[in-house]
A and B are shown apart, each in its own frame.
Chain A
Amino acid sequence: MKSPARRTSYGAEGAPYAHPSPTTTLRRARSAPYLFLVPAAVLFLLFFALPIGYAVWLSFRKVRVSGLGLGSGAREEVWAGLENYTGALSDSELLSGALRVLGYGCIVVPVMLGLALLFALMLDSERVRLAPFTRLAIFLPYAVPGVVAALLWGFLYLPDVSPFFYVLDGLGLPQPDLLDGGPLYLALSNIAVWGGTGFNMIVIYTALRAIPAEVYEAAKLDGATPLQIALRIKIPMVAPSLVLTFFFSIIATLQVFNEPTTLKPLTNSVATTWSPLMKVYQDAFGKGDIHAAAAQATLIALATLVLSFGFLRAANRRTKQEAAR
């Protein structure tokens, strides 16, 4: 009960609130940033930290059934320790899922970013015509939802309903089974590349437009050809954007779910646990084991963090080294 006492003392001096003491002002000034932070912090806690914390908590627990498990009280939630984690790490299906996604990523990321860079450079060149239209046309697939894109391509991959196969058949050419073995990876990658190239192209293109014209002028005065300008000036100068798009692509690859899930009913080759996230989904909603699913989700999140930020650090270090040279 300090403040009333202090108020009385102000009152006694005859200037109750007009000149607050310097310490109060200081305290107010110091607490202001925290006050401004409160809404963000509350939202962060409620919608980010809390759900993640809950998932981690779930991952350390498990359900134990006794006997036949029928009737009430036959099921209880108990502490599991690291059991779900050891289970996930020794699960060969999760590991093979990770390997499958790695193979998929090895196709998607280079092809998608390569095409995005190529398209961005072409759009940025001086002699391009119909640039706005082309830009939009390349970007448009990005606006198609992943599930719809997968359905659309799925129909095109099925020999019996695909116009491509109809043409191949008419020409007497061999008809590959696109939903099996190696071609399946190409088929899946194709959907991702089709959908993702436009977005990455826009990011790189925007960076290209930000390069000052003087740089090009200087290059031209030095006799650089358009190809040399592209290779020696444009690409190095948009390197940060390339790093960014690479970073996004790694995350998107690790989270691949829509495409294989949508293609799954069309073929015997895509298992319900084809990618790690599909395995999480299957365990949570197919098997009803949210605890194992939570542990796997946590592991995937950690792997994503390590991979993506590891890449960012490596990229940063390289840039610094180059800057130092």
Chain B
Amino acid sequence: MPYTKRRRLVSSAVAVTLGATAIAACGSSSDDGEARSGPVSLTYWTWTPGMDKVVDLWNKGPGKKEQITVTVKKQASGDTLVTKILTAHKAGKAPDLVQAEYQALPTLVSNDALADIGDTVGGAKSKFAEGVWQQTTLGTDAVYAVPQDIGPMMFYYREDLFKEYGLTVPATWDEFAETARKLKKAAPDKDLTTFSANDSGLFAGLAQQAGARWWTTSGDKWKVGINDAATKKVADFWGGLVEEGAVDNQPMYTPAWNKALNTGKQIAWVSAVWAPGTLTTAAPGTKGKWAMAPLPQWNEGESSTGSWGGSSTAVTTDSRNKEAAAKFAAWLNTDGEALNALAKEGGIYPASTSAQLSGAFTSPPEYFSNQPDFYKKAAGIAETTAPSAWGPNVNVAYTSFKDAFGAAAKNKSDFTAALDTMQEDTVADLEKQGFGVAE
């Protein structure tokens, strides 16, 4: 790899001119980034609020003992950070540790930005649900990240208004549709909820619950199943509801949406475990009036849910201290004290199963003080999370979703056609990049 070598030469030359003291450090670093003896300092890109306080616990505790100091650099969340990591990686300057959503891991791995840290963190596997852990291995023998938080999906509804209109909590999606129609009849200006096309994660989670597997591999080829039977079922279901006007078709997270939730114009929301935080800011006036239930099921008696959101901690290939970084990643996401602080400071719902019922999660979120067993129920739902299947161009599929389903929701037209567009765009992008794609 002549390119890498030249770059290294240049960077060490620059380091020397800048008066970097440790010439030895430049010389001794090997391509594998083996741990150096002596103190190590790591940089960590994350968007979790309050992460600096959690990292302080490390720097004053186990980190001090091991002479590993971590510095937090606050970042924008989600896709923006993926782009930033990839850009930094191109320059060989990615930070040691990054926060990455599960669906972004294949993109990062396929850009060779994430290191295999299986040797250091492999032992943590038992702390996580299988479906969660599997997302960090991409089905290979490698481990590319340690799960941090998860977003099991749930059904949120206005308890008082459900009672007022004589509605029962839907256990199946058929009942959900009936509930929507019944409400429309009782109160034509109200909606059970809205089908929002501006957050692809919601739709991906619903498809996941239905058993969809959007990206799978066979041999050295990717198979894209975005328009598979399971996803079609989900698309048809919501398309039908939008077309008949049983649910609204306007996007979420707008001032209008906030108002609809706050005034009871929309009385339910299909969301995830982090919904209390969103509701607190979006609908502060209805605190204590909401309740949480498991997501409606496709077949009676089933219990399965999808996930919406959730992220992991990964170590980059640019890191010179991969082992130290992996040690920190494992501590951050498995240590009781760390997870407690993460929940308190960052408001995250931990991926670690043992943390889901301890510390901060023994009492319900303030917004849901009317539901004392909120987190007990949540942990039970989290266990039923269906496996997910992410591929190397989730970003393309997600963008295509926003545009195709946005237009379909607006025109109240065929959602299946929008789904086919999404499939075509995703396959076309893979082929254009040169990935092996199975028909």
Contacts and interface: CB of A to CB of B under 8 A. Distances in A.
A155 B259 CA distance: 12
A269 B83 CA distance: 26
A268 interface: yes
A1 to B, nearest CB: 32
A17 B251 CA distance: 81
Q: What is the size category of the interface that chain A forms with chain B?
A: 20 to 34
Given A70-B106, A271-B407, A160 B259 contact: yes
B220 A268 contact: no
Contact of B403 (A64, A160, A273): A273
A286 B79 CA distance: 7
A187 B222 CA distance: 43
A160 B259 CA distance: 7
A159 B265 CA distance: 13
A272 B399 CA distance: 7
Interface string A266-285: 11110111000000001001
Interface in A271-304: 271-273, 282, 285-288
Contacts of A285: 79-80, 83
A159 B256 contact: yes
Interface in B283-331: 317
B358 interface: no
A68 B253 contact: no
A68 B434 contact: no
B113 to A, nearest CB: 10
B2 to A, nearest CB: 13
A75 B106 CA distance: 13
Q: What is the size category of the interface that chain B forms with chain A?
A: 35 or more
Contacts of B111: 75
Contact of A70 (B86, B138, B221, B265): B138
Given A72-B112, A74-B112, A265-B251, A161 B435 contact: no
Nearest to B199: A265
Interface string B407-420: 10110000000000
Contacts of B399: 272, 282, 286-287
Interface string A35-46: 000000000000
B410 A268 contact: yes
A218 B109 CA distance: 78
B110 A75 contact: yes
A66 B431 CA distance: 10
B28 interface: no
Nearest to A155: B255
Contacts of A74: 110, 112
Interface in A51-77: 63-75
A65 B217 contact: no
A65 B250 contact: no
Given A68-B217, A180-B410, A273-B403, A288 B107 contact: yes
Nearest to B265: A160
A70 to B, nearest CB: 5
Given A158-B254, A158-B256, A266-B254, A70 B109 contact: yes
B335 interface: no
A67 B253 CA distance: 39
Contacts of B86: 288
Nearest to B1: A73
A74 B402 CA distance: 29
A268 B138 contact: no
Contacts of A161: 255-256, 259
Contacts of A286: 79, 395-396, 399
B392 to A, nearest CB: 5
B110 A69 contact: yes
B433 interface: yes
B203 to A, nearest CB: 14
B107 A268 contact: no
B40 interface: no
B194 to A, nearest CB: 11
B209 to A, nearest CB: 24
B172 interface: no
A267 B410 CA distance: 9
A314 B290 CA distance: 65
B81 to A, nearest CB: 11
Contacts of A269: 406, 410
A288 B84 CA distance: 10
A75 B3 CA distance: 14
Contacts of A63: 433-434
A75 B433 CA distance: 9
Nearest to A67: B220
A308 B254 CA distance: 37
B256 A160 contact: yes
B254 A265 contact: yes
A272 B403 contact: yes
B67 interface: no
B380 interface: no
B110 A65 contact: yes
A287 B395 contact: yes
Contacts of B222: 68
A274 B351 CA distance: 38
Interface of B: 79-80, 82-83, 86, 106-107, 109-112, 138, 140, 197-198, 217, 220-222, 249-251, 253-256, 259-260, 265, 317, 392-393, 395-396, 399, 402-403, 406-407, 409-410, 429, 433-436
26 contacts: A63-B433, A68-B222, A68-B435, A69-B110, A69-B434, A70-B392, A72-B112, A155-B255, A158-B256, A160-B265, A266-B251, A266-B254, A268-B197, A268-B409, A268-B410, A269-B410, A271-B407, A272-B399, A272-B402, A285-B79, A285-B80, A286-B395, A287-B395, A287-B396, A288-B83, A288-B395
Interface of A: 63-75, 155, 158-161, 180, 265-269, 271-273, 282, 285-288
Give the 3 A-B residue pairs with the shortest CB-CB distance, closest first: A160-B256, A67-B220, A268-B410
